[in-house]
Amino acid sequence: MVSEVLRRADVTPILHELIAKAALPLASIEDTFAVDSSGFRTTSFGDYCREKYGAPTHNVWLKASIIVGTRSHIIPRVVVTDGHSADSPQLPELVNGVVDAGFILGEVYADKGYLSAENFTAVGKRAGRPTFCSKRTVEADRSTADTTLPGGSRCWHRFQSDPADFHAHYSKRENVEATFAAIKKKLGETLKSRNPRAQINELLCKILAYDISVLIHESFERGIQLPGADLVGSQPKIKTSTEAESDERGFRQDMANRLWQGGDN
């Protein structure tokens, strides 16, 4: 039954909408975002295992391009493409998706693979501030810097005027790599579905499940009120470390008393 649902093309936009809605409660704490992509392995092989084992076989991969809030690691938008697609063209859709989901776009961090006029323009149109790693930033070579890009020269001059401040901001890009590591450790990097549409939907389900786990964590960590919490009771009280230690000592003492009495009653 689940596999039949995942094969449906009309499920894909529903999953995208659910991902955006799951991330929305954290819009109040997120205004800086990091962009990157990573591959997820399928169990499919191409061209009938290269005409039945005539050549080395390789798994077919899907690529997930995500935009991540740097404070909570929530994912408001994801773009799924084939494993050989370029990263840079996906950024405008990610940026537009974040704003359309209800977030305010502040600063956007990305590596030099996203350097393009279209990407600088896409961030600027949404009132964001692009902080991309310039090739000159990495290589210190004027011939490789694209300072003619809209916003590209500003990135370079920010780095030139205060390298420490620039790197303090740009280092937040590492949050997107930590997010991919968390997804793959929690939910695995392999997609079990064999149908191409089902593979896309399965990957979106992984992102949705991850977002829900982040949302639950942030509700306890920051005391964020979740939609519908009033329907199932009051929000859980966040315990201090002293209260937690006291509860643990009480539990251990209770268990010791029961064992001393020689029974469970």
d(CA 70, CA 26): 11
Q: Are residues 166 and 253 in the same domain?
A: no
pLDDT at 138: 46
Q: Are residues 224 and 239 in the same domain?
A: no
Q: Are residues 257 and 155 in the same domain?
A: no
Range of the domain at 253: 235-261
Tokens (6 digits) for 187: 């939910």
Q: Are residues 68 and 183 in the same domain?
A: yes
Q: Are residues 242 and 181 in the same domain?
A: no
Q: Are residues 241 and 154 in the same domain?
A: no
pLDDT at 45: 58
Q: Are residues 197 and 240 in the same domain?
A: no
Length of the chain measured in residues: 265
In angstroms, what CA-CA distances link 243 with 222, 246, 261?
17, 5, 27
Q: Are residues 223 and 239 in the same domain?
A: no
The whole model's pTM is what? 0.77
Q: Say how many C-beta atoms besides its own lie within 10 A of residue 216's C-beta.
A: 12
Q: pLDDT 10s per residue in the chain (265 long)? A: 567 899 999 999 999 999 999 999 999 999 999 999 999 999 865 554 555 555 555 678 999 999 999 999 999 999 999 988 999 999 999 999 999 999 999 999 999 899 888 999 999 999 899 998 866 544 444 444 444 455 556 676 677 777 788 888 899 999 999 999 999 999 999 999 989 999 999 999 999 999 999 999 999 888 887 776 665 555 555 555 566 666 667 766 776 676 666 655 4
Q: Are residues 252 and 180 in the same domain?
A: no
Indicate the number of domains in the chain. Answer: 2
Q: Say how many C-beta atoms besides its own lie within 10 A of residue 13's C-beta.
A: 10
Q: Are residues 127 and 246 in the same domain?
A: no
DSSP H or E segment with residue 171: none
Nearest to 105 by CA among 80, 88, 130: 130
Which residues are within 8 A (CB) of 40 and not within 5 positions of it... i.e. 6 or more apart?
A: 61, 62, 63, 64, 184, 189, 190, 191, 203, 206
Q: Are residues 94 and 178 in the same domain?
A: yes
pLDDT at 43: 81
Q: Are residues 220 and 239 in the same domain?
A: no
